[in-house]
Amino acid sequence: MPENPQSIIALAPNITELIYTLGEEHRLAGVAQQSDYPVAAKSLPTIGAYIHPDIEKIVALKPDLCIAINDGNPRDIITRLESLGIPVYVINPLDLDGIMRSLLEIGKLLGAGRKAELAADGMRARIERVRLFAARTTSRPKVLFQIGNNPLVSVGSGTFAHELIIAAGGENISSGSAAYPRLTREQVLVLQPDVIIITSMTKGENFDRARTEWNQWPSLPAVSNGRVYVVDSDLFDRPSVRLVDALELLVRIIHPELFHTD
């Protein structure tokens, strides 16, 4: 790994976000195509989709370091880049702790160790604050976190969304070993969720339609109590600092009773 990399390529959009969090975006030579946060990142040169990066574009930008993510970037791209003499560092954030660890690792690589520690501490503090809020009540509302409409796909253990739901004091009705289980509406009716959160992994899908579809099932507590919400998928899916924003949003949705004084 190079000492002081000046020309870095972020092979996934969350890595772009992490580098911006550390204030080291001046080192970025290129980013993955979907890097759209913060807005300034959109004007950086792109190197293709993170699931299929364009090796020619990467090499043309003459990077001295590439940062990849284990779950998403194809393994071969890492081997090929290394065989062409380009060092690749692979992060593997599997949960909130993992994100903080990745932040520290990248910080060390970029000589921004202090900034990384600050950012990680900040994250930890905010997460702790949310956990304390959730601890004030023993109620654990049943949450359906829906990421696909046809078919109905939810989140299981091992996903970020699941971890956030638990941390925000909720109960994930589809927690199980499968990461993205498919549910039928019947199963949902039996499980009787108190809160339904709808998001999308694909941009631009009309999820207001999903919400009106739930309104046809007033026997669900979530529907009869008007607790069906639509949220931004990038917030909940990218392993970046914004996941804590998502957590803070989630606790407000799941436990509104704790916030009526805000």
**First CA to last CA distance, the chain:** 47
Q: Are strands 153-154 and 88-91 parallel, antiparallel or unpaired?
A: unpaired
Among 84, 125, 189, 190, binds other proteins (CB under 8 A): 84
Cβ closest to other proteins, residue 48 vs residue 122: 48
**Binding piece for other proteins, criterion CB under 8 A, among 54-62, 112-120, 128-136, 225-233:** 54-62
Q: For residues 177-236, which are near other proteins according to CB under 8 A?
A: 178-181
Cβ closest to other proteins, residue 179 vs residue 189: 179
Q: Are 110 and 26 in contact (CB under 8 A)?
A: no
If binding is defined by CB under 8 A, does position 150 make contact with other proteins?
Answer: no
Cβ closest to other proteins, residue 125 vs residue 201: 201
What is the DSSP track for 42-73? GGS-B-S-TTS--HHHHHHT--SEEEEETTTS
236: left (phi over 0), alpha (psi -120 to 50) or beta: alpha
Distance, CA of 232 to CA of 39 (rounded, Å): 16
Binding residues for other proteins, rule CB under 8 A, total 26
If binding is defined by CB under 8 A, does position 111 make contact with other proteins?
Answer: no
Q: Are 123 and 95 in contact (CB under 8 A)?
A: no
Q: Which residues pair with 10 in a beta bridge?
A: 31, 67
**Shortest distance, CB of residue 20 to other proteins, whole angstroms?**
22
**Binding piece for other proteins, criterion CB under 8 A, among 70-78, 133-141, 167-175, 225-233:** 70-78
Among 57, 101, 124, 131, binds other proteins (CB under 8 A): 57
Q: Are 94 and 14 in contact (CB under 8 A)?
A: no
If binding is defined by CB under 8 A, does position 248 make contact with other proteins?
Answer: no
If binding is defined by CB under 8 A, does position 261 make contact with other proteins?
Answer: no
By the criterion CB under 8 A, which residues form the site for other proteins?
33, 46, 48-49, 51-52, 54-57, 59-60, 62, 71-72, 74-76, 79-80, 83-84, 178-181
